[in-house]
Structure 1
Amino acid sequence: MHALIVTAHPVAHSLTHAVARRLADGVRDAGHSAEIADLAREGFDPRFTEADIARFLRQAPAPADVLAEQARIDRADTLALVYPIYWWSMPGLLKGWIDRVFSQGWAYEEKDGRDERRLGHLSVHLLAIGGADMRTYARHGYFGAMRTQIDHGIFEYCGARVITSELLVPAGGEDAGRHLDRAFDLGRALLRTQPRGCVADAA
């Protein structure tokens, strides 16, 4: 089985990339394959352009770079996003990847006033890396906001099952090592069968 791990951080030696690599290590240690899609290094264009609008309106085929990303997801049994929290959300590069790649006709279909969810085969794992402590995020309701906006508003709308939705934050001491250990353990379990609708508790 195969996992696609997508990350969006401009610095290769960042904690975000380290977590993504350890996640991939765990997947491989469990006997599966993993691919890391480094959107910053690969130069993915996140801008939702006139070509993307034409695709949404069914006036033109999807741009080649979008088709390539959709094919990459189609090859995967599970999708993991590893990203830093910027302004209480994901980086613009990652949001633009979702805006362009999770397009109508591929991720979902709107017909006769009804929505057809097309990614029911896909399980999703979200690892967000924050700079504030857990009490700050909890006090301001970030858990609910993240799950409403990302888990439900994006992936569940397309029929994908969000299995893991975790927030990795500073807790003092050996934060980085603890997060890397968690990523490896999660990677080893990433492709295990999960019951439909199961969502893990936030870390």
Structure 2
Amino acid sequence: MHTLIVVSHPNPQSLTHAVAAEIAHSLPAPHTADIADLAAEGFDPRITAADIAVNIKAGQPPADVLAEQQRLARADALVLVYPVYWWSFPALLKGWIERVFTQGWAYEEHANGTLVKKLGHLPVHLLALGGATLRTYARHGYFGAMRTQIEHGIFDYCGAPVASSTLLLASDDGYPDSALASARDIGRRIPEMLPSALSLPAPLLQRQQ
């Protein structure tokens, strides 16, 4: 079994990168992991004319998009680790999804209005690191908005089940050590939440303290 961990943060010494590494190191053998560092790899998040052509079924994916799709095809689980910027993904990670999760590959829209979700085999784990307090998220509805746009708007649309969704905040007790402990726990449990191991329930939202 193989997990793809996608991390989006420009600083390799950041807690975001440390959390991604803890997840990879905590996966029990013989489970393997690949960390995709979008910033270090220089992934271009900008939508091009070629990208638009793919989504209207008039072209082949650009080489960098095809490489990412092939990397995802080798994965049994996907983990996204990212800081919360303006109550959502960083632009780099959002652009990765926009370019890689294409029509015909992640989903199929038909002229009669039917939608075929093509990623039901790929459980997703979301791990966001935020700076505000949980009270701030709750008071403004940011947490619910993030869940709607990311879990429902992106992954449910493609059929990819969100196996876990975790928000780590600087106000958490024991932070940042608590964030690393949460990452280790998630890494250990990823094999238990593969489609082959269980029937995945509705998205499980976790708040790690």
TM-score (norm 2): 0.93
Matched residues in 1 for 2:172 and 2:87: separation? 21
Judging changes above 3 Å, is the alpha-carbon distance between structure 1 residues 65 and 87 closer, same or farther for their aligned structure 2 residues?
same
Q: Report what 1:33 is aligned to.
A: 32
Report the alpha carbon displacement of residue 197 of structure 1 after superposing the two structures with TM: 3.0
Residue pair 2:131, 2:169 contacting (<8 A) in 1 also: yes
Matched residues in 1 for 2:166 and 2:46: separation? 27
Residue pair 2:78, 2:123 contacting (<8 A) in 1 also: yes
Q: Report what 1:76 is aligned to.
A: 75
Q: Report what 2:12 is aligned to.
A: 12
TM-score (norm 1): 0.96
Give 3-state SS (helix, strand or coil) of 2:203's partner: coil
Runs of 4+ in 1 over 3 A off after TM superposition: none
Give 3-state SS (helix, strand or coil) of 1:80's partner: strand
In the alignment of these two chains, the number of paired residues is 202
Q: Report what 1:182 is aligned to.
A: 182
Q: Report what 1:142 is aligned to.
A: 142
Report the alpha carbon displacement of residue 55 of structure 1 after superposing the two structures with TM: 1.0
Give 3-state SS (helix, strand or coil) of 1:106's partner: coil
Judging changes above 3 Å, is the alpha-carbon distance between structure 1 residues 30 and 168 closer, same or farther for their aligned structure 2 residues?
farther
Q: Report what 1:96 is aligned to.
A: 95
Structure 2: 5+ residue stretches without partners: none
Instruction: Report sequence identity in percent.
Output: 58
Residue pair 1:26, 1:188 contacting (<8 A) in 2 also: yes
Q: Report what 1:201 is aligned to.
A: 205
Residue pair 2:131, 2:171 contacting (<8 A) in 1 also: no
Deviations 1:49-90, CA, capped at 9 Å, x for gaps: 111011112221110110100011110000000000001111
Residue pair 2:133, 2:171 contacting (<8 A) in 1 also: yes
Q: Report what 1:109 is aligned to.
A: 108
Matched residues in 1 for 2:39 and 2:56: separation? 28
The code of the aligned residue for 1:196 comes to L
Report the alpha carbon displacement of residue 26 of structure 1 after superposing the two structures with TM: 1.0
Report the alpha carbon displacement of residue 173 of structure 1 after superposing the two structures with TM: 5.5
Structure 1: 5+ residue stretches without partners: none
Q: Report what 2:56 is aligned to.
A: 57
